[in-house]
Amino acid sequence: MGGKIWVESEPGKGSRFHFTVRMGVQKPDAIKPSRIAPEQLRGLPVLVVDDNETNRLILMKILRNWKMEPSEVDGGPAAIAALEAAQKSARRFPLILLDAQMPEMDGFALAEHIKKSPHDASATVLMLSSAGLRGDAERCRQLGIAAYLTKPFKQSELLEAILAALAAIPKADAQPKLITRHSLREESPQGLRILVAEDNAVNQMLAVRLLEKRGHSVQVAANGKLALECLQQGEFDVVLMDVQMPEMGGLEATEAIREKEKRTGAHIPIIAMTANAMKGDDEECLRHGMDAYVSKPLNLNALFEAIGRFCPVRTSAGTDTKELETAPPK
């Protein structure tokens, strides 16, 4: 690599290791934006502004699933009132989700008002649009809007956009790069590190084949005890946890994982898999600390939708998982 390497050592005092290497300078536009960790969204106040009640209901549910603290209003004037009330109570909304098409005051007019406010100008604003009109992206850039997504969008796309937008550091001498569905697809890593806790050999083989076909790396643990050992030895993005396993079942393993996370502050998504699809099973899994529930035999759409809900990467280049159901364009 055109460099040198050497060591300087003196008995009783220690050693110094040196190396030189010639490297090129990376272009600024080639540096991909970093993302914050999903667990950093916990407790984050977020304001949802949308005149459509169904859209608000869906967004509020999604954001609460990510442990955020969302508030909702039905339009621009109500959003301004909410921001003023937050200011008086010494509270602020670091993140604001705006619908583009609203009566009285549309999302762009509201974004302009927010960016002119000394109290709210630093807030990260995401624009959600049903239309995707020509010129919208340029208006977003001029107003300092961090991300622009057209409906319908997947939960994983929204999560990616939020994580990337909150991590972005604006530069005074350059126009901020707008986060879009296209940019997310270019910059998101393809594969996840998935731990499959499953005792059945046939189910293990099936899960590995399906997940690796989607570009993910997979490690298998035959029971909950081995799953805990795998989590101690390596890092994973998500755990697919069978509920009924010998030595240690999925519910017991999940409780042990969550107990350890109380000390570290981390949170790994755990998706339950069980053949006993009885009424109340999903509540039981959630009560023990699992994040989602899929029944066996596995439905591919349900499985990858669950993975995409919690992991800020694409599940595949051409995934057919169910998209977020939003109201029709207005």
**CA 33, CA 169: separation in Å to the nearest integer?**
9
* Residue pLDDT, tens place only, 255-301: 999 998 888 778 899 999 887 655 567 778 888 999 988 888 877 77
322 has pLDDT over 50: no
**CA 168, CA 265: separation in Å to the nearest integer?**
23
* Residue pLDDT, tens place only, 107-136: 999 999 999 988 888 899 999 998 778 888
319 has pLDDT over 70: no
The pairing of beta strand 179-180 with beta strand 193-197: unpaired
Q: What is the pLDDT of residue 315?
A: 38
Give yes or no: residues 180 and 200 share one domain: no
167: region left, alpha or beta (phi > 0 left; psi from -120 to 50 alpha): alpha
* Contact by Cβ (8 Å): 50, 74: yes
Q: What is the pLDDT of residue 187?
A: 62
* Residue pLDDT, tens place only, 215-230: 788 999 999 999 999 9
Q: What is the pLDDT of residue 279?
A: 58
Task: Evaluate whether residue 93 is within a structural domain.
Answer: yes
Q: What is the pLDDT of residue 40?
A: 82
Q: Tell me what the pLDDT averaged over the chain comes to.
A: 83
Structural domain of residue 95, as residue ranges? 38-187
Task: Evaluate whether residue 154 is within a structural domain.
Answer: yes
Q: What is the pLDDT of residue 35?
A: 65
Q: What is the pLDDT of residue 285?
A: 86
Q: Which of 246, 251, 206 is nearest to 226 (CA)?
A: 246
Kindly state the tokens that stand for 263: 């000390």
C-alpha pair distances (Å), 25 with each of 22, 31, 305 = 10, 11, 40
Give yes or no: residues 100 and 51 share one domain: yes
Domain count of the chain? 2
Give yes or no: residues 44 and 181 share one domain: yes
Per-residue pLDDT, averaged over 12-36, amounts to 73
Per-residue pLDDT, averaged over 175-192, amounts to 73
57 has pLDDT over 50: yes
pLDDT > 90 in the chain, percent: 44
Q: What is the pLDDT of residue 130?
A: 86
Helix, strand or coil, per DSSP, at residue 299: coil
> At which of 187, 222, 253 does a domain end?
187
* Residue pLDDT, tens place only, 69-90: 999 999 999 999 999 999 888 8
Give yes or no: residues 73 and 156 share one domain: yes
CATH number at residue 246: 3.40.50.2300
318 has pLDDT over 50: no
Give yes or no: residues 160 and 281 share one domain: no
**Which residues, in sequence order, are CB contacts of 82 under 8 Å at separation 6+?**
47, 71, 73
